[in-house]
Every structure is written in C-alpha cells, then in structure tokens.
Chain A
Amino acid sequence: MSTKLVPTPAQTVGPFYGYALPYDKDNELLAPGSPGAIRLQGTVYDGSGQAIPDAILEIWQPDSEGRIVQKTGSLVRDGYTFTGWGRGAVGNSGVYTFTTVNPGPTKPGAAAFIAVAIFARGLTNRLFTRIYLPEDTGALANDPLLSSLDPERRKTLIARRDADGGLTFDIRLQGEGETVFLDFQ
C-alpha cells in the first residue's frame, strides 16, 4: 500500500529567521539552576575559522535516565516538564548555549548522545550531527557510528566536559577539524 514519494527539497533558513524561530526559553530544556541542569555551549565556525553569527541549532535528546520523552510543551514551557527538545540561535559572537541535562544511554551499554540539527544563512540544507558525552569510553569505543570513523574525525563528535560540569561542543562547518555531519537516508 505504501507509495514512495520524492521528498520536498530544503532551502536555506536565510538571514531573517531571527524574529520568527526563537521564542522565550527556547534553549532552556529545564530551568537554569534546576537539579541536574548543565550548560551545553559551543561556537559555530565557517571554513575560514570565523565564528558565524547567524546559525540556529536544535537539540533533541533523552532524559537523564535515557528515556525518550514524548510530551508537548517545548514552545510554551511550564517550568517542570522536560520535553527533550530545544532551539538556540547563536549570538553575535557565534556562541550557542542550552540548559539541559546529561542524556542517559537509551540502551544498556550504549553511548549517550544528543542529536543536533544545524541551520544557518549560507547553509542550503540542515546538517545533522551528534554530541556524545565524553565519559563512558567503553561505550564510545563500541558505538557503531564512532567506530566507523578515523580518530581525527571521531573526536569532532565528542563534547568536552567543562570544570563547572557543563559541556562544550564546537561545530566547524568546513575545513580543518570539520565536524562529522550525518546522512540518514
């Protein structure tokens, strides 16, 4: 019964999403200061190493127990419900931030990661990548995606743990240290 349809093409998010896509508390998957809350931050760079001021990221992740949440309320946050999804535009210096929790592994022994979609002016289609937590080196070594990459490329997907417990994950769209971007089709 299923007919295969050809997907609609993407187009760039353009320069003028800034008054449309961001919304109040878009990058706060839970309130800053809540138990377990961490800061996830990073900078988005172009091929000349410049931080770009007009990118917008979305993250989608399980909760700290590795459960995939299917609750509404990401756009109008009630302050209590963790929906697992957030949106964060970079600032003028190219830095994005989220308040979230460390995702748990979705299966025993699996490497925990945050799924990311990146949009930017000049980027004709969204890019997908993953932010892996750095700690569970055994799980990272067994991860199907990471183990299919050579070490130089693999490390572009693993976040750095900051002294305050937060995560730093820079994204390089092009060139030296180019982030691994994913194709799921």
Chain B
Amino acid sequence: MPEDINAELETDELVPSAEPHAAHLPLDKAIETQADLSAEINALGDAYVRALKDGAPAETQPRLDYPPYRSSILRHPTKSLHHTDPETIELYSPAFGHQDVHALESDLTIQHNGEPQGERIIVAGRVLDGNGRPVAGQLVEIWQANASGRYIHKRDQHPAPIDPNFTGIGRCITGPDGSYRFTTIKPGAYPWKNHLNAWRPAHIHFSLFGTEFTQRIITQMYFPGDQLFPLDPIYQTIVDQDARDRLVANYDHNLTEPEWALGYNWDIVLTGPKRTWTENEAFGTAGDSSEEAGE
C-alpha cells in the first residue's frame, strides 16, 4: 500500500467524528475496509428486499440518507421533503439553444490537437418525460474521467496519467425527438476515499433539464457488466435493483460505427410533467428561436 494513503484519508472524503451516525462506525475510520462497507450495503439491501416482500412500495430514486456513502451522513435532510404543488416559475424551465451550445461540443474527442487515448465510444439516446414525451431543445451536459480514470480537476489526486488530448466535458441540445448523442472515450474506474480500496465503477456524469424546473436532474450513466456495482456505495444509494439498472447503458451494435467507435444507448426519463401543455409546447418549440432552428 502506498504510504501516502493515510495522509490522503485525512482529506474531505472523511466525515467529522462528531457526525450523528458515529455509533455504528469503527473508531478508526482509516481501517474501514470494503468488507465493512459491503456488510453495511448488503444489510440495507436485504432490509429493502424484505420490506418489498411485506408490501412496501418500490423505491425509484436514491436515498438521501445512505450511511455507507460517508459524505452523505452530514449532508442529508433529516426532515422529510415537504410536499407542495409547483407554482408558476417552477412549471417552466430555462430555455437553452444553439446560442448556448456549439454543435462540436458533443464530440469530446476533438477538443485538442490530437486523439485522446482509450476506447472511442458513442453514447446516444433520448430524453423523455414521465409521459413518454420527448424533451426537445433542452440542454444535456456531461463530464467524465479519461480512459485511465483521471479527471482534469485540481482535486483529483489519483496518480493516473492526465491525457493532454482529453478534457472530458461535453454539451448538446436535444433534437425534436429528444435525442442526444456524444462521441467520447470510455472512462476508467477510479479510486476514492470513502473507505480503503474504494473504487467507482466507470461512469459518465449527466446533467439534464426538462420542460419544467421540477424535472431538473443530475445523475450518472454506467456501463454494462461492471464488477464494481455491488461494491460501490454511490451506485448502491439506489436500493432497488430495477431502479439501479436504469442507470446502465446498453451496448448497441447498431450504434457502433465500423472501424470507428463502439455504441452505447441510454434513454433518460424525467419526472412529471406537472403543467398542462399547450399545443406549441407539445411540439417542442422550446429552446431555439425560429431563425436559429434552421441551422
């Protein structure tokens, strides 16, 4: 084990000792192992499966309170979310268009002078609302580690190589059918400081807007068959297997381009909508003024 591990464990991925769940944490957090964490993850998962059998409703979103993800312990509200009907401004979304995002921003492999290292991939799919309606003309942002699992971020101290030809940021505006498409590099898994030998499964961060502010979501897309899924406290913040599966892209050979890139398909479903739609909005005029739409 590299001797700087303990020093790194002092950093902010550890929660202060005064946190409320301290009673069930080992005294010396630096020795928390994957086995310790997996035991917690499995206990919560088993309890959820039992509750389902007893008739509890399926959970579709991550738990805000999920102690195995240590950074969540002091950062989750303890009071239940207050139900309210969205009003006026919350029933609309900001408008984004081609003034905001250049078409080339959807290709993460052409942002520098040379080709980035790694496995070139295409990630494409559609953004839909809860009624199955395409979310047209809306902003999609992604960010990710490079092929060796390193982010271009000053706080990423993983001793894996930075790729001078890869930044790992992309944006696009969805098409009339809600479609998005990125060309990028398959990101690598990377270590983090939740516990000793914690590794994140390879993922791409996605940020999405709907037609209403209430639909705003940030999430992560994963790759099929990753052996790190059961070990990852962030992926497991979603305790329902079907819900977790919704974050895993499908390998799609029809998207794969010969001699060029492997294709992954991932559709995203937003909540709602809550607003009564007018005809115009239903046809997706949001996002661009008419003169821009012809580009």
Contacts and interface: CB of A to CB of B under 8 A. Distances in A.
Interface in B220-252: 220, 234-235, 237-238, 242-244, 246-247
Given A62-B89, A72-B95, A124 B69 contact: yes
9 contacts: A2-B132, A6-B246, A8-B219, A9-B238, A15-B13, A47-B20, A47-B74, A83-B95, A184-B86
B116 to A, nearest CB: 16
A181 B132 contact: no
Closest 10 CB pairs of A and B: A122-B71, A20-B143, A85-B94, A72-B97, A75-B100, A183-B81, A106-B88, A122-B75, A124-B62, A47-B74
A12 interface: yes
B151 A145 contact: no
Q: Which interface residue of A10, A15, A107 has the most chain B CB atoms within 10 A?
A: A10
Interface in A1-39: 2-21
Contacts of A15: 13, 153, 155
Nearest to A72: B97
B72 A123 contact: yes
A98 interface: no
B69 A122 contact: yes
Nearest to A62: B89
Nearest to B66: A124
B255 interface: no
B174 interface: no
B263 interface: no
B94 A181 contact: no
B7 interface: no
A85 B216 CA distance: 13
Nearest to A122: B71
A9 B97 CA distance: 26
| Chain A interface, >50% SS class | loop
A20 B246 contact: no
A175 interface: yes
A147 B32 CA distance: 46
Contacts of A106: 87-89
Interface of A: 2-21, 46-48, 50, 52-54, 58, 60-62, 68-76, 83-85, 103, 106-107, 110, 113, 115, 117, 119-128, 144-145, 148-149, 153, 173-175, 178-185
A8 B155 contact: no
Contact of B77 (A19, A71, A181): A181
A68 B92 CA distance: 8
B77 A178 contact: yes
Nearest to A66: B88
Contact of B99 (A60, A73, A182): A73
A126 B218 contact: yes
Interface stretch (B23-31, B47-55, B283-291): B283-291
A10 B268 CA distance: 10
A183 B141 CA distance: 24
A9 B75 contact: no
B138 to A, nearest CB: 11
B205 A17 contact: yes
Given A10-B62, A17-B205, A183-B84, A72 B96 contact: yes
A125 B64 CA distance: 7
Given A16-B153, A117-B216, A144-B84, A125 B62 contact: yes
B198 interface: no
Contacts of A68: 88-89, 92
B234 A5 contact: no
Contacts of A121: 71, 75
Nearest to B145: A16
Interface in B131-178: 131-133, 139, 141-143, 145, 151-156, 167-169, 171
